[in-house]
A and B are shown apart, each in its own frame.
Chain A
Amino acid sequence: MSAAAPPVAEQTLASVRPEGLWADAWKRMRRNRAAVAAGALLAVIALITVAAPWLPGLPDPTAQDLKLGATPPSAAHWFGTDELGRDTLARVVHGGRISLMVGLVATLVSLVIGVTWGAVAGYRGGRTDELMMRVVDILYSLPYIFLVILLLVFFSRSILMLFVALGLVQWLTMARIVRGQVLSLKQQTFVEAARALGADDAAVIFRHIVPNTLGPVIVYTTLTVPAIILQEAFLSFLGLGVQPPDASWGTLVSDGARVLALFPWLVVFPGLALSLTLLCFNFLGDGLRDALDPYDRRDVA
């Protein structure tokens, strides 16, 4: 981590400084054209969905035109319209807002829980570690999808519940990854140095150890976002996820599947948007893994 080095030393050593992990990773990343293209496309998709309410020419996704009804794609409505005459393009773009938001927020939840849990378990070691990881093991073996379905069916089907349900599941792998990293990192001299300088446990864990686990964490996070988007879509498809009037890609596909024989475009376009986004995330995650491969890091001996 170049950020950990004091600025003074950085200046004097600038000319002889070896290539850092990030510069090296960036170089390798750039060579992977598929991953870069996927990243760029994702940025475009994200920008369009974020800017959706202010995009000129994009109709209101809830504006109905019952006289028009369902029409196939045309110059006026690129993706066609649904039975209520709503513009499918607008609904897909606004659906992306919800899908991406659910993906990012739930990932953030799992990131915070997973990193904290794994770092504390790995750093404390001994009985604490044993106990904390046993909890992870047991949660891992639960057929969580059924519990998620139960939670959503019997209690509120709000977006908040969705975050809780999805976030609660996804942190387990993250905790395992971080713990593994921390176990090896805590033996290193920079941790000893930090402790000798009087840093308390929290400071050692979060200021010194956690930043060094970023490589694998970033890779896994990139792969968690599509996993969560997919699960949200899955739950929405079953009618348990996002509730009307909100719509995500999952609910759009679900609605479209019901009138598949009559208005196929209502399934094809949201399905395409969802699949393309997931594909981009997976390409990006693959590229990042190759670039940040923990087995190939030169700076961690």
Chain B
Amino acid sequence: MSLAAFIVRRVLIIVPTLWVIATLTFFLVHAAPGGPFQAERDIPAAAKAQLMRTYGLDQPLYRQYTHFLANAVRLDFGPSYKFPSRQVREIIFEAFPVSAELGGWALLLAILIGVPIGVIAAVKQNSAADYAAMGLALAGVSIPNFVLGPVLVLGLALSLYVLPPALWEGPGSRVLPVLTLSTAYVAYIARLTRGGMLEVLRQDYIRTARAKGLSEPVVVGKHAMRLGILPVVSYIGPATARIIMGSIVVESIFSVPGLGRYLVNAAFNRDYTLVLGLVLFYASFLMVLNLVIDVAYTRLDPRVELA
């Protein structure tokens, strides 16, 4: 299958999936008990009717639904219920760069630290260094970020006063959230790299490379790495999805004004328009990202068939 055909086919899957998510979320939100103005139940009927009109809630449900779908295509989800002066789109565009920065640093850090650890562990398989690295990696995978976060705050911010414990102002404030978010991925990527490298190092073409008299750094770094880190590349898609999930917690712990914190708050506030907008935004972002990664994967390993 050609690359273009592959992309077209994937887009043809993404669009109906997004429609399913949009529909599901829309009706879930509307079937939920309690209206959006529950807290303001005492307001006069006329004012309430006015509010309902503003948000289009006086329309029949199918009208609201078609209206919602038509606007969603343009990323227009109307004003937030909780903060009527703000558009949902505005909030998303403001919060996304924050989340992207947090997630991007965390992923970058995870690759930059995890890959070398995994390579060293694989090259020195069954040595003390290997066992130590893999034991630590398993511990890193096992400590939940919402445990690690408070512990790091306790150690570095509240006892040693070297870093701010929360908020998102200045470079120092980035350290703890990024560290908290990335630890599990450093560990997991180290494990993946080790596994991938061990598999590759056993292969004939590596023996050939060594027999040709190539130096060990060239054999490992140039010949083995290229295939050995494939598991890591294919993990970047799911990792991004998980980092987004993790960032919900990390943003809550450190009061980072990103998408995750808005989502949790919106869900608790029954801010329907904001929830709908955020969920759809997340979903489409993830799917497009996965498509990009699949394409990148084929560039790296020509043996991969597009299917």
Q: Which secondary structure characterizes the binding site on chain A?
A: helix
- On whether A275 and B144 interact (CB within 8 A), knowing A237-B249, A260-B158, A267-B150, the answer reads yes
Are B17's CB and A142's CB within 8 A?
A: yes
B253: nearest chain-A partner, CB-CB: A257
Interface residue B28 (Cβ < 8 Å from any Cβ of A): yes
Question: Is B91's CB within 8 Å of the partner chain A?
Answer: no
A230 interface residue per 8 A CB criterion: yes
Which listed residue, A141, A147, A268, touches B24 by the CB 8 Å rule? A147
List the A residue with the shortest CB-CB distance to B143: A275
Q: Provide the main secondary structure of the chain B interface.
A: helix
Interface residues of B in 148-171 (CB under 8 A from A): 149-151, 153-154, 158
Whether B154 lies near A154 (C-beta < 8 A) is no
In the complex the two chains form, what is the Cα distance from A132 to B141 in whole Å? Answer: 32
Tell me the residues in window 140-164 of chain A with beta carbons closer than 8 Å to chain B beta carbons.
141-143, 145-147, 149-151, 153-155
- Is there a chain B Cβ closer than 8 Å to A278's Cβ? yes
Give the complex CA separation of A283 and B270 in angstroms.
Answer: 41
Number of B interface residues at 8 Å Cβ cutoff, please give it: 46
Tell me whether B275 and A233 are in contact (CB under 8 A). Answer: no
26 contacts between A and B (CB under 8 A): A138-B13, A138-B17, A138-B20, A142-B17, A143-B282, A146-B25, A146-B279, A149-B267, A150-B25, A150-B29, A150-B267, A150-B279, A153-B270, A155-B33, A238-B252, A254-B146, A257-B146, A257-B253, A264-B154, A267-B150, A271-B144, A275-B139, A275-B147, A278-B144, A279-B143, A283-B138
| Chain A residues near B (Cβ < 8 Å) | 34, 138, 141-143, 145-147, 149-151, 153-155, 226, 230, 233-234, 237-239, 250, 253-254, 256-257, 260-261, 264, 267-268, 271, 274-275, 278-279, 282-283, 286
User: Measuring CB to CB, which residues of chain B are less than 8 angstroms from any residue of chain A?
Assistant: 13, 17, 20-21, 24-25, 28-29, 31-33, 135, 138-139, 141-144, 146-147, 149-151, 153-154, 158, 241, 244-245, 248-249, 252-253, 263-264, 267-268, 270, 275, 278-279, 282-283, 286-287, 290
